[in-house]
Structures are given as structure tokens and as C-alpha cells.
Amino acid sequence: MDPFKFQADNRLLFGRWNYIIMKELLSGPKRYSDIKRTLPITGTALTDRLRLFEAENLIMRRLYPEMPIRVEYALTDKGEALRPIVEAFERWISHYNEG
């Protein structure tokens, strides 16, 4: 495995805000405003992360033809494949960060 590729891929999940946003999306499709409301993140930072995830095919942006326009973000199969990693990391955090 190329260590530089691993480091770049690692940043996809563990870059600033990325993990928390991914964890939010693991619970199901979310609107931008839903994610923004639950996290103390700037709109610019959230938009940047969502665009990155979309470019990496981790999420899809679903536009609904209604007024007002509704957009939801949902995990792709590739994004869903991160579920075991996130769950394992959550168990690790829970085990080693007690107290």
C-alpha cells in the first residue's frame, strides 16, 4: 500500500469535520440545514466537505423538483462501506476515553 495514498484517503474520513459529517449521514439522508443545525460548523466549511464527499463518490446529492427546492445528501455504496470503520472507531473511543 502506498503510504501517501493511505494518508490522503485517511483525510477523507478524519479531516476536520469529515468524520462528524459522515457519522451524521450514516443515520440516513439529510438536508443541508439538518446537518448545519446539529453541528457548530460554518456554511462554507460544510459546503466544502459535502462537495469533497460528492467528488469522491461517498455521497450523492439528490435534488427534488418541488418548491421550495429540496436537496438531500445520502451515502453511496462507497460511503456506506465506511460504516464498519466508523462503528469500530466509535467502540474504540468509548472503550479508551471513559472518565
Over range 51-59, report the average pLDDT.
Answer: 95
Tens-digit pLDDT profile for residues 7-21 = 556 576 767 899 999
Residue 71 has a pLDDT of 93
- What is the residue-averaged pLDDT of the chain? 88
pLDDT of residue 5 exceeding 80: no
Q: What is the pTM of this model?
A: 0.83
The SS3 of residue 97 is coil
Domain that includes residue 55, residue range: 3-96
Number of domains in the chain: 1
Residue-by-residue DSSP string for the chain:
--HHHHHHHHHHHHSTTHHHHHHHHHTS-EEHHHHHHHS---HHHHHHHHHHHHHTTSEEEEEESSSS-EEEEEE-HHHHTTHHHHHHHHHHHHHHS--
CATH code: domain of residue 58: 1.10.10.10
> What pLDDT was estimated at residue 1?
62
